[in-house]
Amino acid sequence: MLTSEQRLSAIQRLGRALSDPTRCRLLLALLEGADYPAGLADRLGLTRQNVSNHLACLRDCGLVRTHARGRQVSYELVDESLAHALDDLLQVVWGTTQPHETLTPSEEQPRAV
Protein backbone atom coordinates (compact mmCIF):
# COMPACT_ATOMS: atom_id res chain seq x y z
CA MET A 1 0.00 0.00 0.00
CA LEU A 2 1.33 3.42 -0.92
CA THR A 3 1.72 6.13 1.67
CA SER A 4 0.26 9.59 1.13
CA GLU A 5 3.77 10.90 0.36
CA GLN A 6 4.37 8.18 -2.24
CA ARG A 7 1.04 8.88 -3.90
CA LEU A 8 1.79 12.62 -3.95
CA SER A 9 5.22 12.00 -5.46
CA ALA A 10 3.72 9.79 -8.18
CA ILE A 11 1.10 12.42 -9.09
CA GLN A 12 3.77 15.13 -9.17
CA ARG A 13 5.93 13.03 -11.53
CA LEU A 14 2.93 12.46 -13.78
CA GLY A 15 2.12 16.17 -13.71
CA ARG A 16 5.70 17.04 -14.65
CA ALA A 17 5.58 14.62 -17.56
CA LEU A 18 2.24 15.93 -18.85
CA SER A 19 3.08 19.62 -18.34
CA ASP A 20 5.03 19.84 -21.59
CA PRO A 21 3.36 19.47 -25.03
CA THR A 22 6.38 17.69 -26.51
CA ARG A 23 6.39 15.08 -23.75
CA CYS A 24 2.65 14.58 -24.26
CA ARG A 25 3.23 14.07 -27.98
CA LEU A 26 5.96 11.53 -27.22
CA LEU A 27 3.71 9.60 -24.83
CA LEU A 28 0.95 9.52 -27.45
CA ALA A 29 3.42 8.35 -30.10
CA LEU A 30 4.65 5.59 -27.78
CA LEU A 31 1.06 4.39 -27.34
CA GLU A 32 1.55 3.00 -30.85
CA GLY A 33 4.59 1.01 -29.74
CA ALA A 34 8.30 1.23 -29.02
CA ASP A 35 10.47 3.44 -31.19
CA TYR A 36 13.93 4.93 -31.45
CA PRO A 37 14.60 8.62 -30.73
CA ALA A 38 15.45 9.22 -34.40
CA GLY A 39 12.17 7.65 -35.51
CA LEU A 40 10.19 9.66 -32.98
CA ALA A 41 11.97 12.86 -34.07
CA ASP A 42 11.12 12.20 -37.71
CA ARG A 43 7.48 11.30 -36.96
CA LEU A 44 6.94 14.36 -34.77
CA GLY A 45 9.03 16.85 -36.73
CA LEU A 46 11.42 17.48 -33.84
CA THR A 47 15.18 17.46 -33.46
CA ARG A 48 16.81 14.31 -32.13
CA GLN A 49 18.38 16.26 -29.28
CA ASN A 50 15.01 17.67 -28.24
CA VAL A 51 13.43 14.22 -28.33
CA SER A 52 16.31 12.71 -26.35
CA ASN A 53 16.03 15.37 -23.66
CA HIS A 54 12.29 14.85 -23.28
CA LEU A 55 12.63 11.06 -23.28
CA ALA A 56 15.18 11.38 -20.46
CA CYS A 57 12.61 13.38 -18.48
CA LEU A 58 9.91 10.77 -19.15
CA ARG A 59 12.32 8.04 -18.05
CA ASP A 60 13.14 9.98 -14.86
CA CYS A 61 9.39 10.35 -14.23
CA GLY A 62 9.07 6.56 -14.46
CA LEU A 63 6.82 6.54 -17.52
CA VAL A 64 9.11 5.10 -20.20
CA ARG A 65 11.86 2.50 -20.23
CA THR A 66 14.67 1.73 -22.61
CA HIS A 67 15.78 -1.39 -24.45
CA ALA A 68 19.24 -1.65 -25.95
CA ARG A 69 19.21 -3.21 -29.39
CA GLY A 70 22.76 -3.41 -30.56
CA ARG A 71 24.17 0.08 -30.41
CA GLN A 72 20.74 1.72 -30.49
CA VAL A 73 18.29 2.28 -27.66
CA SER A 74 14.54 2.15 -28.16
CA TYR A 75 11.92 3.60 -25.84
CA GLU A 76 8.55 2.26 -24.81
CA LEU A 77 5.89 2.93 -22.21
CA VAL A 78 6.94 1.41 -18.91
CA ASP A 79 3.89 -0.82 -18.65
CA GLU A 80 0.71 -1.73 -20.53
CA SER A 81 -1.31 -0.34 -17.65
CA LEU A 82 0.11 3.12 -18.45
CA ALA A 83 -1.28 2.81 -21.98
CA HIS A 84 -4.68 1.96 -20.50
CA ALA A 85 -4.44 4.86 -18.04
CA LEU A 86 -3.57 7.32 -20.82
CA ASP A 87 -6.48 6.03 -22.90
CA ASP A 88 -8.77 6.44 -19.87
CA LEU A 89 -7.56 10.01 -19.33
CA LEU A 90 -8.23 10.85 -22.97
CA GLN A 91 -11.74 9.41 -22.70
CA VAL A 92 -12.42 11.44 -19.55
CA VAL A 93 -11.31 14.63 -21.27
CA TRP A 94 -13.46 13.93 -24.35
CA GLY A 95 -16.43 12.76 -22.27
CA THR A 96 -16.46 9.31 -23.83
CA THR A 97 -15.65 7.22 -20.77
CA GLN A 98 -16.98 3.72 -20.43
CA PRO A 99 -17.77 2.29 -17.01
CA HIS A 100 -15.17 -0.02 -15.52
CA GLU A 101 -16.09 -3.20 -13.77
CA THR A 102 -16.97 -2.48 -10.16
CA LEU A 103 -14.66 -4.11 -7.66
CA THR A 104 -16.21 -6.11 -4.87
CA PRO A 105 -15.27 -4.91 -1.36
CA SER A 106 -12.75 -7.76 -0.99
CA GLU A 107 -11.00 -6.69 -4.25
CA GLU A 108 -10.76 -3.01 -3.39
CA GLN A 109 -7.40 -1.67 -2.31
CA PRO A 110 -7.36 0.14 1.02
CA ARG A 111 -6.73 3.85 0.67
CA ALA A 112 -3.72 5.47 2.30
CA VAL A 113 -4.64 8.33 4.56
Helices (H), ranges, the chain: 4-18, 21-30, 37-44, 48-60, 80-94
For 33-47, write each residue's pLDDT tens digit: 999 999 999 999 999
Rounded Cα distance between 24 and 11, Å, is: 15
Cα–Cα distances (Å) from 7 to 4, 12, 35, 79, in that order, read 5, 9, 29, 18
Q: Any residues with CB less than 8 A from the CB of 109 and at least 6 apart, and which?
A: 1
Give one word for 65, left, alpha or beta, with left for phi > 0 and alpha for psi -120 to 50: beta
For residue 8, how many C-alpha atoms fall within 13 Å in the half-sphere facing its CB?
4
Q: Is the dihedral of CA 60, 62, 64, 70 positive or negative?
A: positive
For 14-69, write each residue's pLDDT tens digit: 999 999 999 999 999 999 999 999 999 999 999 999 999 999 999 999 999 999 98
**pLDDT at residue 60 in the model:** 94
